[in-house]
Amino acid sequence: MATAYFDTSATFAAEMDARDPLAGFRGKFHIPLAPDGRESVYLCGHSLGLQPKRVREYIEQELHDWEKLAVEAHFRGRNPWLPYHRPLSEKLTAIVGARPIEVVAMNSLTVNLHLMMVSFYRPTPQRHKIVIETGAFPSDQYAVKSQLRFRGWDPATSLIELKPRPSEATVRQEDIEALLEREGQSIALVMLGGVNYATGQLFDMPAITRAGHAQGCIVAFDLAHAAGNVPVKLHDWDVDFAVWCSYKYLNGGPGCVAGCFVHERHAHEFERPRFAGWWGHEEQTRFRMGPEFHPAPGAEGWQLSNPSILAMAPLRASLDLFAEAGMERLREKSMALTGYLEFLLDQNGSAKFSIITPRDPQRRGAQLSIGVRENGRAVCERLNAEGILCDWREPNILRVAPAPLYNTYSDVHRCAERFLAAIG
C-alpha cells in the first residue's frame, strides 16, 4: 500500500481495522494482557507466535484418545497417530511452495539442518566451502562450523561469510552473485537464512539458487523467519533443501516440531548418505522390523523417530488457520501493516534511531529492525512495561513484527506512538 493512503491519526488505524477482511482471525488467538488490563500490543511473532484458541481442544482430543484407546489410537483415534504428520506436511506445502513428497514435519530446526548437511554437504579437496551470511542465527553458525570441523575442515578457511558493505546493514544481491561467480567452484554449500533474524532482510532466494546452481553448488535455506511470513516457492525455485522451525510465524508453540524440505529431484536418491532412523524406513515394510534400512522416498526418508503427537497438535490448530486465511491475503496485509509502521516512524525524522530493514517491501517480511543509537535496551524495557511487546538484540536492534493473523493497524499505531514517546 502506498504511503499516500496513510495518515497519522488513530482514527485512520481504526478505519483500516474496520475494513480488514482478515480482522476475524485475531479473535481466534489468545492475546496477552498489558499491565493496565487491556490487550497488549504483541509484536514478537518473529520470536514466538501467539496461541490459537483451539490448541487446547486439539491437545485434549489426543489426550482423550490416549486415555480411551491407548496404543490403538495409532490406528483408531479420531486423528490416527500413525499418519498424524501427513496432514501437517500437506498444509506446510502450501506455505513453503512444495509438493507433498518434498515436505515433512519432524524434529527441531537444528536437528534437521544437521541431518540435511550430513546428506548434502559432501566436501572434496576442490569444493569444500560453505557460505552463510554474517550475523546468521547463532545455531546456524554453530551447526555449520561443527559440520566443517567434523569433516576435517577449518572454518577459518572453509567458511565464507557474506558481509554488508561498510556502513550498510544488509547484504546487496549483486555482492552475493559476485561472490558466487568468483568463488563458486570451491563452494560445496550455500546455506543462508531466507529472512535474516536480526535485520529482517528477505534474501532473493530464487536468484541466489540460480547463481549457486550455475556454479555447481548445493543451495539451501533456513526459513525460520520466512515460513508463514513471506511467500515461498521452494519447488519452483529449485532449492535443494530447506529447514524451518514452527513456533514463530507458524504459531506452533514453544519448541514445536519443525519442518524440512527436500526437492523432488532428490526424492529417490536412496544411496545418498544419511543418518537413518526407523521412522524414515519405507512405510510398507517398516513394521517387519528388518535389520536393513530402506528409506522412504522424499523428505520422509530423513525421519528418525515417530513424532510427538502432543507437540504436533498445536501446530495442526495453527495450520488450519493458515489454510483458511491463505498466504496471499496474509502477505498483502503484512506488507500494509509493516509499511504503515514504517510511515509512522518516518514522520518523526529523529536522528536517535533508524530503520535498518530494507525499505523495499519485496525485500522484507513482517519485521522492522530499528537501530537505536542510545539506551535502546531501556527503550525496549519501557515499551514492554507499557504492554508493547517487542524484543531487543545486541548491540542496538529493536525488533518489531506485526503479524497479519492477529495484529491490527491500531496495534501498529499504538506501538509507534509509544516508541516515539520513549525515544524522546
76-99 pLDDT, tens digit per residue, is: 999 999 999 999 999 999 999 999
Q: Are 339 and 3 in contact (CB under 8 A)?
A: yes
CA dist 50 and 32 (Å) reads: 9
What confidence category does residue 159 fall into, taking pLDDT thresholds of 50, 70 and 90? very high
CA dist 15 and 407 (Å) reads: 15
175-208 pLDDT, tens digit per residue, is: 999 999 999 999 999 999 999 999 999 999 999 9
The number of residues in the chain equals 424
Quick one: pLDDT at residue 215? 98
The DSSP output letter for 166 is T
235-264 pLDDT, tens digit per residue, is: 999 999 999 999 999 999 999 999 999 999
Report the share of the chain in percent with pLDDT over 90.
98
Map out the domains of the chain as residue ranges: 3-54+326-423, 83-322
Q: Are 191 and 109 in contact (CB under 8 A)?
A: no
322-369 pLDDT, tens digit per residue, is: 999 999 999 999 999 999 999 999 998 889 999 999 999 999 999 999
Residue 24, class by beta-carbon neighbours within 10 Å (0-12 exposed, 13-18 middle, 19+ buried)?
exposed
Residue type, 188: A
CATH of 3-54+326-423 given 3.30.70.20, 2.40.160.40, 3.90.1150.10, 2.60.40.10: 3.90.1150.10
Q: Does pLDDT of 1 surpass 60? A: no
CATH topology of domain 83-322: Aspartate Aminotransferase; domain 2 (3.40.640)
Question: What angle is formed at CA 28 by the lines to CA 23 and CA 33, rounded to 5 degrees?
Answer: 95
Quick one: pLDDT at residue 4? 61
SS3 238: coil
Quick one: pLDDT at residue 90? 92
Residue type, 263: H
Q: Does pLDDT of 230 surpass 60? A: yes
CA dist 15 and 27 (Å) reads: 18
Higher per-residue pLDDT: 315 or 1: 315
CA dist 182 and 217 (Å) reads: 13
Quick one: pLDDT at residue 132? 98
What confidence category does residue 49 fall into, taking pLDDT thresholds of 50, 70 and 90? very high
Locate 320 and state its grid cell: 488450519
Whether 3-54+326-423 and 83-322 share one fold: the answer is no
